[in-house]
A and B are shown apart, each in its own frame.
Chain A
Amino acid sequence: MNHFLVVLLMAACGVVLPNGNPTLSASHPYHVSYAEVEWNPETGHFEVALCVWPADLEKAISRMSGRAIDLDAEPGVEAMFEQYVARRFRLIGDSGKVRPIRWVGAQVGLKQAWLYFEVAGDKKPGRWTIENRVFFELNEDQLNQIQIRMGPVRKSLSSTVESKPLSLETVRWKPAR
């Protein structure tokens, strides 16, 4: 079914929750992800370390693949992570072009999973739009926290289902003497 049609139908019937009633899972998973994003002026790349709850990651890539995925047993699971992240975590330059990601690796533990990737940026400072829509399709109250690092400068951004894409300005910093 054409997904555009589905969205229209959703609007018509007024039923919009992804997992049914919000009452649901009373164990209430912790719907917060955390990304450290650092712009490297030498390479022009954004270096991203994204921390997520492994159960959500498993659910998300299972849903993306249309079958149940076991994070621990699936061969080539990192390629799925990459595919998922490329869809959900986007950096967009001034020209409006989405920059490609380059996968670096992952560490999947019991408590958390760290996903590492780079996004091709520019060596010159500039304005960017950043979108982190990880798990928005799973959790209506998902909060994606992003910490931007540029040398000693840190800036916190938060992205929720309701929020618009975030703007980010890269700046060169000089180390304090």
Chain B
Amino acid sequence: MSLRLNGFVCLLVVVSIPVSLHAQAVGKFSQQDKFRQLEEDLPTPNGFRTGSGAPGPAYWQQEVNYEIDVRLDDENQRLFGSEVITYKNNSPDTLRYLWLQLDANIHRPDSESKLAATSPGLERVPFKQFQGMLARRVFDGGITITKCTDNSTNQPLKYTVVKTMMRVDLPQPLPPGGSFEFGVDWYYRINDAKVVRGRSGYEYFPEDGNYIYEMAQWFPRLCAYTDVTGWQHKQFLGRGEFTLEVGNYVVRITVPSDHVVASTGTLMNADQVLSPDQRQRLEMAKSAEKPLFIVTPEEALANESSRPDGDRTWIFKADQVRDFAFASSRKFIWDALQHDVGGAPVMAMSFYPKEGEPLWSRYSTHAIVHTLNVYSRYTFDYPYPVAISVNGPVGGMEYPMICFNGPRPEKDGTYSARTKYGLISVIIHEVGHNYFPMIVNTDERQWTWMDEGLNTFLQFLAEQEWEEGYPSRRGEPADIVPFMASLNQVPIMTNSESILQFGANAYAKPATALNILRETILGRELFDFAFKEYARRWKFKRPMPADFFRTMEDASGTDLDWFWRGWFYSTDHVDLAVLGVRRLDIQQGPEVEKQVQRAERQDQPETQSAERNKPLPKYVEKFPELKDFYNDYDPLDVTPKESRSYDKFVEKLSEEERKLLDADHYFYLVDLENVGGLVMPVILELTFEDGSTDLLRYPAEIWNKNNEAISKLIITEKPVASLNLDPRLETADVDLANNHYPPRIQKSRFELFKESRERPNPMRDQQIELKRSQQKQGGSR
């Protein structure tokens, strides 16, 4: 059966925008291959990491256990620590030295972080900010190592500090399977986190003379040694957070006797540090339905004016964690609610000063519980005994079992909706980081998106399950459009320290990409299965990007190389356009066909010359013998040969084909252009002339032979009146103006806003009049 082009119904003129190309076109075909397989770029699978994206049979990771004594000097804001580290070499390599991280050295005046920073656009600098700049210049929060010894011999170890890293030379090479135990003592000045900001520090409250300490990245921590990077000792510049080894901790935290401590791990000596009332309340929290106060607001207020009668040591034990953080203050209100996750009890707890009220007691612990429920459903059951949210000077930062979150209400206790949702969102986000990267132990210093992107994606899911219409900032495709259309971009697959527009690139874009992958490409069932499989495979292990990409394909049974290539390896954006629509007719036999052609010929306008030449005498009329067959022949007459040929054609058709020929079908060729470069599924909404609609979905592979312009044949039973590409805004298409056929004039947002202001609104006018007359009456009384 043949289709014949009946003519252009209309052709849209689309303004072309240059398409950025990131890979050279190959061979004699001018286009780059958007579906080129990633195996050329991904690392070769091996015994440590398989081609399926799972840990291989020879997968290994180091184990590092810590026993730490730390003392918080509340008078001088200093931290003194002493640790014994047991390093177990599970690698196949013999190690001659170990690398440790000294993150506090980022606060040295000559730190690389400060020296490498470039200037932002400052014209006017408020005095307070200028003070902060000077404070950072003079503040020295660098770490001082006072001892580093081999525990077996008690002999000093040779060590070399390289900015935020420290190399410890081993007395003997450490063979595969061997262990080495050594001790490090240190101290440093704690930064005022409101002035010299960071992921850690103290906040001073001048009204009552007290401090809140949020202590993180506070002890010399072993760098990760991996099959991929060897030692991961890229300098700490600030953005690329860290990756560490999973291990077990016993930490004894000595603080003023009237402080309350919140920490990673399980409190081992509650009977020594908590009052009988507090212990009883904690017991009650195990079966409570709502959060209970362990330290009430009244008790916390009373504590503010107390003074310590010495020190008290809180002992915590944490297993299978990659880091350890704590917070301490006499200002803390403390509430708790035990919650079962997969049959295991988890104590959800919040610590905050009165300045956080009433917001914190209302939302914080509930937000923790909600996060554990949702995240565990999409990954694995939360494996730790506690989950803690602390309010202090740090805006939002995560550590195993504990996180620091900044939002507070106004001083009068009122708060805006933005503050409320800001608090709930940041708690979901930071508690959610327990899953990525605390348990799925990705390398944040190398790949920010692997924890922030995945976590922001799950944060979106959790927010949408908190309440209907939750104002999530990231996740919906439409919200990423301005960034996707912007020019100053680097791919998601960019090292943490080189990322431009950090939040948009490493948080929002991968989160949105995963949401699109879930909703539009794979569907929820396939995506959720694959995502959970990734989390299961890499729980307490260290995946790399290829492991994620491969697992998602392996478990979903879908080649997603084009998706990773487009969304993660390029800066292309989605802009698909309907270039035009052509209607086609089925050949209905020569009589019908030629009748149509004759009608078309008759529709042709007569030219001026032809009209004027018509009355002129013609030479052949004078000599009729000059006329022959061709003078009467009309090529649009049906010849017997053509009739026979059509009859034969019909005879050869199957019964089904004959039915189709007789049926009343409409054929359209839709011409589509990929303006933005990023290939995506084509989602077309057809509106028929009778007003009904139909939604057609074509996979991204529709672009696999030509990723710049394609035509798609659409067969309908009713005439189509209009087309709309991506009608539900699923793909982050940056320009919706070219998504319609026939083209629609899209009013600018400015015009729409002005119109909404100017549009007559008699109801509102009436209400205003009513109010005026009521005020008049009130005034005359």
Which A residues form the contact surface with B (CB < 8 A)? 1, 3, 6-7, 9-10, 13-34, 36, 38, 47-49, 51, 53-55, 58, 63, 66, 68, 70-73, 104-105, 107, 109-111, 114, 116, 133, 136-137, 139-141, 143, 145, 147, 149, 152-154, 156-158, 160-163, 176
A17 nearest CB neighbor, chain B only? B117
A58 and B748: CB pair below 8 A?
Answer: no
Q: How far is the CA of A67 from the CA of B501 in the complex (A)?
A: 28
B488 and A152: CB pair below 8 A?
Answer: no
Give the dominant DSSP class at A's interface.
loop
Q: How far is the CA of A10 from the CA of B754 in the complex (A)?
A: 44
B114 and A15: CB pair below 8 A?
Answer: yes
B560 an interface residue at 8 Å Cβ cutoff?
no
Partner pick for B113 among A14, A23, A68, A107, CB 8 A cutoff: A23
Partner pick for A145 among B13, B482, B750, CB 8 A cutoff: B482
B416 an interface residue at 8 Å Cβ cutoff?
yes
Q: How far is the CA of A73 from the CA of B417 in the complex (A)?
A: 11
Q: Given the known A-B contacts A13-B134, A14-B115, A24-B395, are A110 and B417 also in contact in the complex, defined by CB atoms under 8 Å? A: yes
B760 an interface residue at 8 Å Cβ cutoff?
no
B487 and A157: CB pair below 8 A?
Answer: yes
Could you give 8 example pairs across A and B, Cβ below 8 Å?
Answer: A7-B125, A21-B114, A21-B238, A23-B199, A24-B197, A28-B503, A110-B417, A152-B15
Q: How far is the CA of A162 from the CA of B507 in the complex (A)?
A: 22
B488 and A163: CB pair below 8 A?
Answer: yes
- Looking at the assembled complex, report how far the CB atom of B68 sits from the nearest CB atom of chain A, in whole angstroms: 23
Q: How far is the CA of A6 from the CA of B125 in the complex (A)?
A: 7
Chain A residues with Cβ below 8 Å from B124 are 3, 137
Chain B residues with Cβ below 8 Å from A27 are 395-396, 406, 426, 429-430
Shortest beta-carbon contacts, A-B, top 8 = A27-B396, A23-B238, A34-B482, A20-B197, A136-B121, A110-B471, A25-B395, A140-B120
B47 an interface residue at 8 Å Cβ cutoff?
no
Q: How far is the CA of A10 from the CA of B124 in the complex (A)?
A: 11
B120 and A18: CB pair below 8 A?
Answer: yes
A114 and B753: CB pair below 8 A?
Answer: yes
B369 an interface residue at 8 Å Cβ cutoff?
no
Chain B residues with Cβ below 8 Å from A160 are 488, 500
Q: How far is the CA of A1 from the CA of B421 in the complex (A)?
A: 38
B504 an interface residue at 8 Å Cβ cutoff?
yes
- Looking at the assembled complex, report how far the CB atom of B747 sits from the nearest CB atom of chain A, in whole angstroms: 10
A70 and B410: CB pair below 8 A?
Answer: yes
Q: Given the known A-B contacts A26-B199, A143-B504, A153-B15, are A55 and B422 also in contact in the complex, defined by CB atoms under 8 Å? A: yes
B655 an interface residue at 8 Å Cβ cutoff?
no
Q: How far is the CA of A48 from the CA of B130 in the complex (A)?
A: 33
B485 an interface residue at 8 Å Cβ cutoff?
yes
Q: Given the known A-B contacts A1-B130, A47-B748, are A143 and B422 also in contact in the complex, defined by CB atoms under 8 Å? A: no
B394 nearest CB neighbor, chain A only? A26
Chain A residues with Cβ below 8 Å from B502 are 28, 31, 141
B59 an interface residue at 8 Å Cβ cutoff?
no
Partner pick for B748 among A17, A49, A133, CB 8 A cutoff: A49
B17 an interface residue at 8 Å Cβ cutoff?
yes
B130 and A32: CB pair below 8 A?
Answer: no
Chain A residues with Cβ below 8 Å from B132 are 20
A109 nearest CB neighbor, chain B only? B471
Which of A1, A16, A20 neighbours the largest number of chain B CB atoms within 10 Å of its CB? A20
Q: A30-B483, A71-B416, A156-B487 are in contact. List 14 more A-B contacts (CB 8 A).
A: A21-B113, A23-B198, A24-B198, A31-B502, A36-B748, A48-B750, A70-B410, A110-B417, A110-B418, A137-B121, A137-B123, A140-B120, A141-B502, A158-B486
B83 an interface residue at 8 Å Cβ cutoff?
no
B485 nearest CB neighbor, chain A only? A156
Partner pick for A137 among B119, B122, B481, CB 8 A cutoff: B122
Chain A residues with Cβ below 8 Å from B689 are none
B397 an interface residue at 8 Å Cβ cutoff?
yes
- Looking at the assembled complex, report how far the CB atom of A101 sits from the nearest CB atom of chain B, in whole angstroms: 13
B396 nearest CB neighbor, chain A only? A27
B127 and A29: CB pair below 8 A?
Answer: no
Per-residue 0/1 for B361-399: is the Cβ within 8 Å of any A Cβ (1 yes, 0 no)? Answer: 000000000000000000000000000000000111110
Chain B residues with Cβ below 8 Å from A63 are 126
B507 and A20: CB pair below 8 A?
Answer: no
B2 an interface residue at 8 Å Cβ cutoff?
no
B224 an interface residue at 8 Å Cβ cutoff?
no
Q: Given the known A-B contacts A30-B473, A107-B753, A149-B748, are A16 and B120 also in contact in the complex, defined by CB atoms under 8 Å? A: yes
Chain B residues with Cβ below 8 Å from A32 are 482-483, 486, 501, 503-504
Chain A residues with Cβ below 8 Å from B748 are 36, 38, 47, 49, 149
Chain A residues with Cβ below 8 Å from B759 are none
Partner pick for B196 among A20, A31, A49, CB 8 A cutoff: A20
A26 and B473: CB pair below 8 A?
Answer: no
Q: How far is the CA of A36 from the CA of B406 in the complex (A)?
A: 33
A105 and B753: CB pair below 8 A?
Answer: yes
A48 nearest CB neighbor, chain B only? B750
Q: How far is the CA of A21 from the CA of B476 in the complex (A)?
A: 30
Q: How far is the CA of A34 from the CA of B481 in the complex (A)?
A: 9
B120 and A145: CB pair below 8 A?
Answer: no
B397 and A26: CB pair below 8 A?
Answer: yes
Q: How far is the CA of A142 from the CA of B422 in the complex (A)?
A: 20
- Looking at the assembled complex, report how far the CB atom of B190 sits from the nearest CB atom of chain A, in whole angstroms: 15
Which of B241, B452, B485 neighbours the largest number of chain A CB atoms within 10 Å of its CB? B485
Q: How far is the CA of A65 from the CA of B473 in the complex (A)?
A: 27
B504 and A30: CB pair below 8 A?
Answer: yes
B696 an interface residue at 8 Å Cβ cutoff?
no
B503 and A29: CB pair below 8 A?
Answer: yes
B130 and A6: CB pair below 8 A?
Answer: yes
Per-residue 0/1 for B436-473: is the Cβ within 8 Å of any A Cβ (1 yes, 0 no)? Answer: 00000000000000001000000000000000000111
Q: How far is the CA of A33 from the CA of B426 in the complex (A)?
A: 21
A16 and B750: CB pair below 8 A?
Answer: no
Q: Given the known A-B contacts A6-B125, A7-B122, are A22 and B487 also in contact in the complex, defined by CB atoms under 8 Å? A: no
Which of A24, A34, A54, A114 neighbours the largest number of chain B CB atoms within 10 Å of its CB? A24
- Looking at the assembled complex, report how far the CB atom of B60 sits from the nearest CB atom of chain A, in whole angstroms: 30
Chain A residues with Cβ below 8 Å from B422 are 55
Q: How far is the CA of A34 from the CA of B480 in the complex (A)?
A: 11
B752 nearest CB neighbor, chain A only? A49
Q: How far is the CA of A145 from the CA of B241 in the complex (A)?
A: 28
- Looking at the assembled complex, report how far the CB atom of A12 sits from the nearest CB atom of chain B, in whole angstroms: 10
- Looking at the assembled complex, report how far the CB atom of A52 sits from the nearest CB atom of chain B, in whole angstroms: 11
Q: How far is the CA of A6 from the CA of B754 in the complex (A)?
A: 42
Which of B237, B410, B486 neighbours the largest number of chain A CB atoms within 10 Å of its CB? B486
Chain A residues with Cβ below 8 Å from B430 are 26-27
- Looking at the assembled complex, report how far the CB atom of A7 sits from the nearest CB atom of chain B, in whole angstroms: 7
B474 an interface residue at 8 Å Cβ cutoff?
yes
Q: How far is the CA of A22 from the CA of B750 in the complex (A)?
A: 35
Chain B residues with Cβ below 8 Å from A105 are 753, 757
Q: How far is the CA of A15 from the CA of B474 in the complex (A)?
A: 32
Q: How far is the CA of A163 from the CA of B485 in the complex (A)?
A: 17
B482 nearest CB neighbor, chain A only? A34
Chain B residues with Cβ below 8 Å from A116 are 749-750, 753-754
